[in-house]
Structure 1
Amino acid sequence: MCGDHSNGRVDRPFRACSKSGVDLRRCDPPGGRRLARGAGSLDPRRTGVRGTAWMRRRRNLMTRLRHRPALDVRVEIRGELPREEAEYARARALATAAALGPDTHALRLRLTRSRNRSVTRPALAQADVELAGVGPVRVQLATGTARESVDLVLGTLAGRAVRLREQGDIGFAVAYESAYRPQFADRPLAQRRIARHKAVVLARRGPEQAVLELLALDRRFHLFADAATGRDGLVHRCTPGGTVELCAAGTSAMPPLDLAEAARRLWLTGRPFVGWTDPGDHRARVLYRRFDGHYGLIAPVSEGRIGAGTLSAQD
């Protein structure tokens, strides 16, 4: 406590702002200039500012601190995981988001522990980040332990984000079929079902832009609406080699099928997905394998939010 005891009055210092952690005694006013030379406080008895003017400046400063944009970092844990591993994942996600710089809007990390004994790398980590002026970047990898998966996926995500920011793409040199690609759980055919049905509004893209999004989002396939023709298109990675193939709805590459025939082809070929054209509305459809052994179905619609639900199209 400090003050002037000559007049029997004690000056009490202002408290720090609990939400921002900033000591108001050491803050400049909103105009960026101290109210009095050498004054480190907004105390009206020291600055000479009286009454409502001082309160208005203090309120403006508090509002500015309260509405400062915050980085959105979310960590989702699925399955049984020790508390120490979950805390480690949260700490690494926060550190990665801070290291990527101020243009990072949001970072998501999802850690899944598989119980299926057929999966030799049960710790699946999926991470995506939204960069201002660049767009989303996504990586999904799997290892034997949760901590190793977190380190690997966040390190890969940071590297791809930096390259995408500096060079505009992550390049075809990315090892798509690496030793850390997530595995599909071995589930009996009689137990498989369509566990997820996504209705999406396809964004209008050129083929080149669709390929860039395919690579940046670490997908096996990517649906889009061709900006020139308006037809539904599909770009996907071919294995081995990692080359990209472009297909269009209504062509021989995406023939007219029904859902039952598409599921039969998906089972017989063992491919990660099957694309076809629906005979009713002549729009593209994709039936894909999920990592839990079930299936997922993507069907374009005409109304809604563009790209809704497509960031995790192969989870």
Structure 2
Amino acid sequence: MTRLRHRPALDVRVEIRGELPREDAEYARARALETATALGPGAHALRLRLTRTRDRSVTRPAVAQAQVELDGAGPVRVHLATRTASESVDLVLGTLAGRAVRLSEQGDIGFAVTYESVYRPQYADRPLAGRRIARHKTVVLARRTPGRAARELLALDRRFHLYTDLATGRDGLVRRCPLSGAVEPYLAGSEAVPPLDLAEAARRLWLTGGPFVAHTDPGDDRIRVLYRRYDGHYGLIEPVSGGRIGAGILSALN
């Protein structure tokens, strides 16, 4: 007797945020299911989030974020924005599928920064006095070589990625070079990750206008990253053993 093996039900979830026409939401769900099916049995847990911002300072208001888990390779993520919802859905799922296939077949997605400048989501134009740390995230840093941390950075479509350096045991950070797109590794306490308190890191983020400031906390010599959120506020990432944030720490910005 021959038994037929069936693939388990696809784990596909679509989240819609903001005001979108019903046909856009239905299109997003259909395309997500289609993409998950095309990626085959090695792909699991495809997530698609589609957001329509009402901020008039943003010229590409349709923001899409997609992620899928691959057997033996881990997560792949893409985050971008266009003018219309359907365009964002097509672009984010097409990019996700291409990167997933390359990662599964070749072990990395390459060092090209696809859509980095053209389709990266935009920052809302929020007055300095109205900004605050809207998200504080603590993380457990995995032990990695700089090379593996760089591959994870690109697969997750991030500007920076934290890890524990396998050789030294120190906190490390890999980041994209804004001009070349190459990935550069740094350790806590280096020139690129200097000792700063949070208020000084916030001042530097404001003065430089960059996407983030990585610094070493003088209290425990561990890495912190203060970064700009797309809603115009700030976020803070620190190792799980870091200290607590005091109230009003960003008062020096106002």
Shared fold per TM-score greater than 0.5: yes
Provide structure 1 residue ranges, at least 5 long, that are not aligned to the other structure: 1-31, 35-63, 304-315
1:245 corresponds to 2:184: yes
**Structure 1 Cα separation of the partners of residues 73 and 147 of structure 2:** 16
**Structure 2 Cα separation of the partners of residues 115 and 253 of structure 1:** 36
Q: CA deviation at 1:175?
A: 2.7
> In structure 2, what residue type is equivalent to 1:165?
S
Q: CA deviation at 1:33?
A: 5.8
Q: CA deviation at 1:202?
A: 0.7
Q: What corresponds to 1:55 in structure 2? A: none
Contact 1:119–1:184 (8 Å) recurs in 2:
yes
1:186 corresponds to 2:125: yes
SS in 2 for 1:235: strand
Higher share of residues assigned strand = 2
**Structure 1 Cα separation of the partners of residues 116 and 15 of structure 2:** 25
Q: CA deviation at 1:238?
A: 1.2
Contact 1:140–1:182 (8 Å) recurs in 2:
yes
**Structure 2 Cα separation of the partners of residues 72 and 195 of structure 1:** 30
Q: 1:120 aligns with which of 43, 59, 74?
A: 59
RMSD of aligned alpha carbons: 1.8
Q: Deviations along 1:112-166, whole A, 9 cap, x unmatched?
A: 1111111100001010100111111111111000010000000010011111111
Distance 1:33 1:251, change over 3 A: closer
1:210 corresponds to 2:145: no
Provide structure 2 residue ranges, at least 5 long, that are not aligned to the other structure: 243-254
TM-score (norm 2): 0.91
Larger-gyration structure (1/2): 1
Contact 1:210–1:235 (8 Å) recurs in 2:
yes
Q: What corresponds to 1:106 in structure 2? A: 45
> In structure 1, what residue type is equivalent to 2:137?
K
**Structure 2 Cα separation of the partners of residues 264 and 255 of structure 1:** 14
Q: CA deviation at 1:240?
A: 1.4
Correspondence list, 1:58-137, <5 A: 69-137=8-76
Q: CA deviation at 1:96?
A: 0.3
Contact 1:72–1:105 (8 Å) recurs in 2:
yes
SS in 2 for 1:262: helix
Structure 1 residue ranges (4+ consecutive) displaced by more than 4 angstroms after TM superposition: none
Contact 1:176–1:242 (8 Å) recurs in 2:
no
SS in 2 for 1:246: strand
Sequence identity, in percent? 79
Count how many residue pairs are aligned between Structure 1 and Structure 2. 241
